[in-house]
Copies of this chain bind each other. A is one copy, B any other.
Amino acid sequence: MSIGISQATVQNRTMSLRYALLALLTAQPMTGYDLAKAFHISVGHVWYAPDSQIYPELRRMEAAGLVDGVALPWGDKGTKTEYHVTDAGISEFVDWMNLPLRYTRERDPAHLKAAYFEWADPDAVREQLRAHVAHYEDQRRQWLEQLESIRDHTHPIFAKRLERYPSSEWPRITAFKMFAYEGLAARAEQEIAWAQRGLRLVDELAGESAAD
Q: Give the B-binding residues of A (Cβ under 8 A).
A: 14, 16, 19-20, 23, 26, 43-48, 93-94, 97-101, 103, 105-121, 124, 127-128, 131-132, 135, 139, 169, 171-173, 175-177, 179-184, 186-187, 190-191, 193-194, 197-198, 201, 205, 208-209
Pick the contact of A176: B93, B116, B169 (CB < 8 A): B116
Contact A112:B176 (CB < 8 A) given known A119-B93, A127-B100, A194-B186: no
Residue pair B109, A16 in contact (C-beta under 8 Å): yes
Q: A26-B116, A115-B177, A118-B176 are in contact. List 6 more A-B contacts (CB 8 A).
A: A19-B112, A20-B112, A46-B106, A175-B201, A179-B201, A187-B191
Q: Which residues of B contact A105 (CB under 8 A)?
A: 44, 48
Instruction: Name the residue in A139, A172, A191 with the highest tally of chain B Cβ atoms < 10 Å from its Cβ.
Output: A172
